[in-house]
Amino acid sequence: MSSRSAIVGFRWIVALLLIAAVPFDGNAESMKAGTSHSWSVRWQPKLLVNGSPVLLQVTSPRALESLSGKWLDHEVFFSFDTRSKTWQGIAGASLETKPGKYVLTLVGKAKGGNELSFEQSIPVGKAKYRQISVTVPKQYTEPNPEQLHEIDQDKALKQRVLGQVSPERDWAGKFLPPVSAPISDVFGTARVFNGNVLSVHQGLDFGVPAGTPVNALNAGTVLLAQMLFFEGNCVVLDHGQGLLTIYMHLSKIEVKEGERVTRGQEIALSGGTGRATGPHLHVAVRWEGIYLDPTILLSLRMP
């Protein structure tokens, strides 16, 4: 081989190596080195902020028997959707999440026990939340000893119930609004109760009169159905993959703990029980211990 041919051949080798070293990034396909196929990681909403739930859709370069993930120090549970031929999982960024890029780590198990791993950076921005003042009965800001005892009992119960994580997916299809009514207060609002007690509104308020039918956002299992001090009559549904929905201030509960419910099923009637300024429905979304914006969950496009 001539020296000129050797130089040309060397340049081609270098060029090919440089092309192979360039990763594909963003909300699209990313190439896995050493394979002729690619991973695809997509998420909704495309522009994530603190307090946002996220639907993850993953396509792997090989057929997998299972897929697991970790993001923001939380486990992400995936299930395979035969219609879209993607692995789907629910996750979320808490209100305390600072702007930045956070790595989603994926581990898949193929037939024969072989493992495939992949990492994808997902950016999280900062949302703007407002502050309002609210007046409620004094017992909800300055409870007496008997009421403090009741609050402590509720706290222990809520820690046990809300701490449950079911890996298997129960939800299916788009999440539906619990009532057909305007939103009267949004997620993330900083509330000052009676001038001095500060809390963050961790759900959505719907301005409906007492007795309005309340429907399940999606299919799931009833974890809690009883009266609590602050929440009033309260129902908690487990939708799987670590996702819970919570319905508060109800006038009547129409389901029992352990009961399976379907998407859109009537589970209660709205009211004004607990720490409420008047009749309305409060709905919260909780994923693995953090509260997320229900508005975004309701807007997700399900494949």
- Give the pLDDT score at 37: 67
Taking the C-alpha atoms of residue 236 and residue 214, their distance in angstroms, rounded to an integer, is 13
- Report the predicted TM-score, pTM, of the whole model to 2 decimal places: 0.81
Please give the average pLDDT of every successive group of 10 residues along the chain, which has 303 residues: 40 35 36 58 96 97 96 97 94 96 97 92 91 68 78 83 90 96 87 67 92 98 95 97 97 98 98 91 96 96 84
- Give the pLDDT score at 5: 41
- Give the pLDDT score at 193: 66
Encoded amino acid at 70, one letter? K
- Give the pLDDT score at 190: 77
- Give the pLDDT score at 69: 98
What domains sit in the chain, N to C, each tagged with a CATH number?
Answer: 27-125 (2.60.40.1930), 131-299 (2.70.70.10)
Residues 6+ apart with CB under 8 A from 11: none
- Give the pLDDT score at 287: 97
- Give the pLDDT score at 195: 66
Kindly provide the residue ranges of all beta strands, DSSP E only, lying in 126-196, ordered along the sequence. Answer: 131-134, 183-185, 190-193
- Give the pLDDT score at 134: 64
Taking the C-alpha atoms of residue 103 and residue 157, their distance in angstroms, rounded to an integer, is 34
